[in-house]
Structure 1
Amino acid sequence: MFSGVQHILLEGGGLDYYADYLADPQALYTELRETIPWEQPLITLYGQQHQTPRLLYFVGDAGLAYQYSGIRHATAPWPKPLSQLRDRLLAETGYDFNCALLNYYRDGDDRMGYHSDDEPELGDSPCIASISVGAERDFCLKPKSGETKMQKINLASGSLLIMLPPTQRYWQHALPVRKGVTQGRINITFRKLL
């Protein structure tokens, strides 16, 4: 069982961080890495197409689809371990998620730039629950207002980070390159599409 929560207050939002939410994160990492049919879609930036700098997969309830950065993800069925995690999150946090976007960072060169999970289909003030397994990586936040206040959290393997409403409205987050990291990391971001 996990030991407790660290509450991180932000102007216009907040985070709840559980460093040891999963008892055996390596087993989940290995299962997902080996069984998920990972994809690397093309995105268009400044008129040029590039492959995403990480691998992706989208799971959820039947009939859902999720679109961001010009990529439309049709829903794949919930794998059993992710369905169990969703049920656990509902029981322990009260948040009812109907989909999850999985990101597989193969090493420290794979990354995600600054963005907010604020697509219209997520509603006005979404809650995002993020479980990390594999290599530890830095999770960075900065205000959308352009202020220089930044936050950085080292996400441990087996950790849960909940970005509470209305954090997405006021903050952006990123997973920058981390040279020297040779192990992969999988991040499962639970969401609720309206």
Structure 2
Amino acid sequence: MLWLQLAAAAGIILVAAHFMARAADIIAEKTGLGRSFIGVVMLASATSLPELGTGVSSIVLVGEVDLAAGDAFGSNLFNLLIIGLLDLYWRRGPILASVTLTSALVGVQGILIISVALVALVFHSSTSVASGWPLSPMTALMFAIFMGAMYLTYRDERNSEGKVERGENYDGSSLPKVLINYIKTDSILDSSAIWLANI
């Protein structure tokens, strides 16, 4: 019975992820915001909600900070491994050779935030400075880097507009309808991910 639940949850996640990715691609095309920007803001944020829920539960309900930190760092580790797995499927050369410079910019920004988090771990484990503060200065720095990264990604996408080959034609798709479908698939995906985590 357990394996059936695991298979069902995983299957629902795969199907929902397919429709969510398509909806995000249409939104990127219709709004002109760019696929890398939409990928960071909508896809990455939406698919990270289960990790957010797990992290909050680990701290609030269980009181285990290591679980929350391990979940955050571990999900980043696995997400990077996904690039390697996708490279096995991609048949147009190395997958990283096919991405735009905007995606490379997002990768650099991700490395920067992770580096700040690692510096924060070393800083707080080696000194008691700021131990009584309600918020770590490193946390504020990570928020600032994230907001700056969103702006740089958006600006780079706008500067690259017209230079990137258009994908599939979505002229017959309605943006409001696509947004509703995105929200629906996001809800299904997050619910299934939470279900999978609790099986």
Q: How does the TM-score come out when normalised to structure 1?
A: 0.25
Which is greater in Rg? 2
| More contact order relative to length (CA 8 Å, sep ≥ 6) | 2
More helix by share: 2
Q: How does the TM-score come out when normalised to structure 2?
A: 0.25
